[in-house]
Structure 1
Amino acid sequence: MAALPPARQTSTAVTTASSPTPPVVGDGGGSADGTPDEGSAASPKAPATTPPSERFVVIGATTLARRVCASLDGSGHRVDHLAAPDDRDLRRALAARPDGVAVLVGDDLSALRYALAVRHVCDRVRIVVTVFDRTVAQQLRLLLHDCVPISPADLLAPTLAGLCVDPDALAVRDDGHGAVAVRRQRGRLVETPWRASAAARRRSLLGRLRGQLQPHDADARLLLIGLLGIVAVLALDWAWLVSVFHRPVSTAFLEAARVVAGVGPAAPHDGHPGYEVVSGVAMLVTVGFTALLTAGIVDRLFGPRLVGVLGPRVLPRSGHVIVVGLGQVGLRLCQTLRQLGVPVIGVEREPAAPNLRLARSMGIPVVLAHGEDREVLARLGLGRACALAAVGSHELDNIAVAVAAHAVAPEVRVVLRAGEDEAIAETRSLLPLGLTRDIVRTSAAYVTAHLTSRPAGGPPRQVVADTDCDYVDLPAHGLVGWPVPAGDDCGHVPAAAAGDGLDTARAAPGAG
């Protein structure tokens, strides 16, 4: 996805597209539901022309593929939807030279194979392919002409980050020149430079400092207690020798080190039985501290080491964001928050989750636990956190996390990754779970915009998700309200065979 221009103060008109090909830009004034906003200035209008119907090929059996197919079909386009085509099916579908191909499968290796096969058969058709691994995405851009790799997790991360750190922002991201926020002002979406408030920065700093001295896991506590105990015995014995016996600094250090090592004072101290008794007790106590230190070191060496004892990977204690679910969406959200300077804690219940290695390499502290456990949330300092984001791949699990978060800290903002199935809709009506965003709907809007917006001035630059609408940033029109299809069932692939493929995709080694 191409980056937006540097942070700017000028407003971008909010328009609502009547169909995805191309959008008809209306007045800039209006609210999120399309009602006019009195007194707001009108934006320039695009030509209200309707292009002829185009033909597209959609490859994949994921929920995203079905949603894109339904959106294109509902806009009057001709769509060939292939769930898992072989070479013969692919050649047959591409024989008519479609206007675009969307490869929306569940893993990077299959996406790479289909993209190469499509380009081999049709050397000019534009391709939109979902890819998680950024290395694979970069190679696709270099090797294949007119091929656009996108990551649904990257698309939604700025929106989720904005909801976590700023209640008035629709999205917050770092565009390479600083953090910018997308806000709604008088019926328009405007981009302004963003910076955390002074109070939030102070809470984050204090939370990091507290985390250095308040380890979370047992092995870190053992290591820290053993280390601090040994250092304390060494310092006290050295201070006694220097201040009372007036030993040289180096000699005092040698004698104190011998006490800590358990071999006794370096020389007898006649007339000072108190010191000899204290030295003996210190040697005995140091044996226990040494055992704790050794146990902590062994656990750190053979354990996953997902949380640091000291340094950037310690758990922050206030002013942080708790991200439950370290799939593709959760990992990208953590990375985006870290880029914005917001401390973050990841929570993952699967010890063998593939993204744990990536989280560790990015310096993200991760706790292996169930996010719906109220005791876990309390131990992670939910009451002192900025927000909690439940972004796992299973929507009912996200509901459970949101309910537990409301029970532990009702005042903390909850951001929920959720779809639009019946269970989610019913739960929203019964309980204000939090701020929900549908990653499948948002990704479908961006993919359809990429496929259909070329005649309108160029491909989209970003997408911003709102509660009931998505805004696609088109070069010729700015942020345009993208219509939501009436249904997400295209009729070509059974719903039972589909999945979003967002957190189950197998990324290549070195993904990230």
Structure 2
Amino acid sequence: MTTAQPGSPPADRRLVVIGDTNLARRVCASLTAREHTVHHLGEPNDSELRTALRTTPDGVAILLHDDVAALRYALAVAHISPQAPVTVTVFDRTVSEELKRLLPQCDVTSPADLAAPSLAGPCIDPANLAVHHRPQGTRAVTAVDARPRLGACQPHGRQLGRRLGRFAGQLRPHDAGTRLLVIGLTGILAVLLADWAWLVSHGHHPAEALFHATRVVAAVGPATAPAHSYGYQLAASAAMLATLLFSALFTAGVIERMLGLKLIGLIGPRTLPRSGHVIVVGMGQVGLRLCAELQRHGVPVVGVERDPHAATARLARSLGIPVMTGHGGDRTVLEQLRLGKARSIAAVGSDDLDNIAVAIAAHGVAPATPVVIRAGDHEAIAETRSLLPLGTVRDVTGLAAGYVLARLVDEPVGGVIAHEHDIYLQRPDETFTPWPLTTRDDCRHHQDGVTARVPAPRSHGVGTPR
């Protein structure tokens, strides 16, 4: 057994870890390396839970993918051992708020919330380790002499430029239905303007010309046609026939948008940005929190999600985040999102292999665009150092494990960040302390197969992807 880490409390704490997840195994292994007594349970029944809590432990960590199950275990632990400090990771914000209401003494956190600043930092500027939103402004964590330091955030764009870019993105078609709507609307307006201009140039009053042009667009013809004006009569006839076609296209586009989910707006704040934006591939809980974090810093963002019916994709709509339906590894999708003009692209889906595929595709489309990758959960690529050539790598599980570990051993912690291959605790005084973690493979309970009977972790928690 290894010696306790410098600065850690005496190795006499008795702790309970619940969950058969990579996060639970990594926390268990790190606690054991610090010479604490760990009782690791996978998915215990009531009898097993009562046995583990017979003597009040110094701390309990509930680390599951199923948020409802986490809520149930937290309530059970509070009932069996009311004095035990409890730390719970919950992805869904609704469940988290309910748990805080029921158990105010319970520390409820989300791996997505913990990782959002560390993911947003390099998305805004590759030199940033993380960014934090403060009442006095945005603060950035950068590396100074190979150590994290908190300082002022460099401006990442002009407000005028962002507004002009948003204005230029209005009425920009992003799919077949929207394209039909825009073509039809543009054609109708072009016919109206051309007919009005013709009549005004031939001496008609602008109001009278507008009246006649509107009748032409409505395909009922002008109220009166100038005598012997065969040119205008032919032009008006052609305009009415063209309007029939444009009206059909416009109607088809309107119906398509009425029946669709409308995850991208045609006008307004949810239109596709044209430049200086961040593309977030994978709109699970991590992707959604990352988009919200970037928006707080004034950075235009667009999400990519394969499942348009995902709960988080619909939630993004209420937050004003445009979401394109498609695969982030598709070159056509990346080109349509103007990857070459983007500030960066973040691949933050729950599957590490998909994230790597997105990073490879992004390098093929726009090699100069920075890439941020969420990785570290997959068994085959748990060692993230091999992914460094693809971009900035962030291990969401490692960040969450560092925070949970600090809470269990009573270390003061305000947040966690990643720098190179290490995890750092951000203290309440805004200083940073290295916080070594042990790999999940060193969890002896997992090696002994104690939790092998638990089903494999699901990729969705409370109906929403991670």
TM (norm. structure 2) is: 0.91
Quote the Cα distance in structure 1 between the aligned partners of 2:430 and 2:137: 24
Q: Give 1:120 shift.
A: 0.9
Distance (whole Å) between structure 2 residues aligned to residue 170 and residue 496 of structure 1: 37
What is the CA distance between 1:316 and its match in structure 2? 1.1
The whole-number CA distance in structure 2 between the counterparts of 1:430 and 1:332 is 23
- State the secondary structure of the residue aligned to 1:415: strand
Instruction: Give me the whole-angstrom Cα distance separating, in 1, the residues matched to 2:329 and 2:171.
Output: 27
Residues 202 and 410 of structure 1, relative CA distance in 2, 3 Å threshold: farther
Does structure 2 retain, via aligned residues, the 8 Å contact 1:206–1:318? no
8 Å contact 2:118–2:130 — kept in the other structure? yes
SS at match of 1:432: helix
- CA-to-partner distance for each residue in 1:359-399, whole Å, 9 max, x for gaps? 11111111111111222212221111111111111111111
For the pair 1:417 / 2:374, whether they are aligned, the reply is yes
Deviation track 1:277-296 (CA, whole Å, cap 9, x = no partner) reads: 21111111111110111010
**Residues 1:363 and 2:320 are matched in the alignment:** yes
Contact 2:376-2:384 at 8 Å conserved across structures: no
* Pair 1:398-2:351 in alignment: no
**In structure 2, which of residues 160, 167, 174 is the aligned counterpart of residue 209 of structure 1?**
167
Letter aligned with residue 18 of structure 2: I
- 2:183 corresponds to: 225
- 2-side partners of 1:246 and 1:178: how far apart? 58
1:496-507 paired onto structure 2 within 5 Å: 503-506=459-462
Q: How far apart are residue 142 of structure 1 and its match?
A: 2.9
Aligned ranges for residues 478-497 of structure 1 at < 5 Å? Answer: 478-493=431-446, 494=449
Equivalent of 2:155 in 187, 196, 199: 196
Q: 1:331 aligns with which of 284, 288, 291?
A: 288
Q: 1:110–1:430: structure 2 CA closer, same or farther, 3 Å change rule?
A: closer
Aligned equivalents of 1:501 and 1:171: distance in 2? Answer: 29
CA contact (8 A) 1:203 1:319 kept: no
Pair 1:500–1:332, CA change in 2 (3 A): farther
Which residue in 2 is equivalent to 1:444? 401
Amino acid of the structure 2 residue aligned with 1:466: H
Cα distance change on mapping 1:496 and 1:409 into 2, 3 Å:
farther
Name the CA shift for 1:477/1:277 in 2 (closer, same or farther; >3 Å). Answer: closer
Query: Deviation at 1:240?
Result: 3.0
Instruction: Give me the TM-score of the superposition, normalised by structure 1.
Output: 0.84
The answer to whether the aligner puts 1:461 opposite 2:434 as a matched pair is no
CA contact (8 A) 1:174 1:339 kept: yes
1:465 and 1:419 map into 2 onto residues whose CA distance is 13
- Per-residue deviation at 1:218? 1.2
* Partner residue, 1:102: 61
1:120 matched to 2:79? The reply is: yes
Give me the whole-angstrom Cα distance separating, in 2, the residues matched to 1:484 and 1:253: 73
What does residue range 119-158 of structure 1 map to in structure 2 within 5 Å? 119-158=78-117
Aligned partners of 1:430, 1:416: CA distance in 2, in Å? 9
Which of 324, 339, 344 is equivalent to 1:382?
339
Structure 1 distance, partners of 2:383, 2:105, is 42
Task: Decide which moves more: 128-137 or 53-62.
Answer: 128-137
Q: How does 1:237-256 map to 2 (within 5 A)?
A: 237-247=195-205, 249=207, 251-256=208-213
Residues of 2 paired with 1:54 and 1:140: CA distance? 26
Residue of structure 1 equivalent to 2:13:
54
Please give the per-residue CA displacement for 1:243-284, whole angstroms capped at 9, x wherever unaligned.
4232251x3322221111000001131132222221111111
Unmatched runs of 5 consecutive residues or more in structure 2: none
The letter for the 2-side match of 1:245 is G
Query: CA separation in 1, counterparts of 2:457 and 2:115?
Result: 15
1:268 counterpart (225, 234, 247): 225
Amino acid at match of 1:504: H
CA contact (8 A) 1:63 1:499 kept: no
More displaced stretch, 421-430 vs 117-126: 421-430
Amino acid in structure 2 at the alignment position of 1:160:
L
Aligned counterparts of 1:428 and 1:303: Cα–Cα separation in 2 = 42
- Map 1:267-306 to 2 at 5 A: 267-306=224-263
The change in CA–CA distance for 1:501 and 1:178 in structure 2 (over 3 A counts) is farther
Query: Quick one: distance in 2 between partners of 1:498 and 1:176?
Result: 44
Which sections of structure 1, spanning at least 5 residues, go unmatched?
1-17, 25-48
Q: Does 1:71 align with 2:37?
A: no
1:319 is aligned to 2:272: no
Shift of the alpha carbon at 1:418? 0.8
Q: Contact 2:352–2:377 (CA<8 Å) still a contact in 1?
A: no
Superposition CA RMSD, Å: 2.6
Per-residue CA deviation, residues 184-223 of structure 1 (Å, 9 max, x unaligned), is 223543322325334x766644543332243211111111
8 Å contact from structure 1 (residues 103, 115) kept in 2: yes
Partner of 1:3: none
Read off the aligned partner of 1:220 and give its amino acid letter. Answer: T
Query: Structure 1 stretch 147-156 or stretch 472-481: which is displaced more?
Result: 472-481
Determine the C-alpha separation between the residues in 2 that align with 1:466 and 1:497: 36
Deviation for aligned residue 1:177: 4.0
Kindly state the Cα deviation for residue 50 of structure 1 after the two structures are TM-superposed.
Answer: 4.4
Alpha-carbon spacing, 1:430–1:438, altered in 2? closer, same or farther (3 Å): closer
Question: Any conservation in 2 of the 1:132–1:507 contact (CA below 8 Å)?
Answer: no
**Is the Cα contact below 8 Å between 2:9 and 2:409 reproduced in 1?**
no
CA shift, 1:496, in A, is: 7.3
**Percent of aligned positions with the same letter in both sequences?**
52
- Distance, in Å, in 1 between the alignment partners of 2:351 and 2:27 is 21
Give a deviation string over 1:11-53, Cα, whole Å, max 9, x none.
Answer: xxxxxxx956xx63xxxxxxxxxxxxxxxxxxxxxxxx74241
Q: Quote the residue 1:474 is aligned against.
A: 427
CA separation of 1:155/1:430 partners in 2, compared to 1, >3 Å: closer, same or farther?
closer
Counterpart code for 1:215? P
Question: Structure 1: how far apart are the matches of 2:48 and 2:169?
Answer: 57
The count of residues paired between Structure 1 and Structure 2 equals 461
SS in 2 for 1:300: helix
Which residue of the partner structure matches residue 39 of structure 1? none
Moved more, 139-148 or 382-391: 139-148
In the alignment, is the contact (CA less than 8 A) between 2:149 and 2:432 conserved in 1?
Answer: no
What amino acid is aligned across from residue 217 of structure 2 in structure 1?
Answer: V
Aligned-residue offset at 1:297: 0.4
Change over 3 Å in CA distance of 1:498–1:383 after alignment to 2: farther
Distance (Å, rounded) in 2 between the aligned partners of 1:117 and 1:395? 33
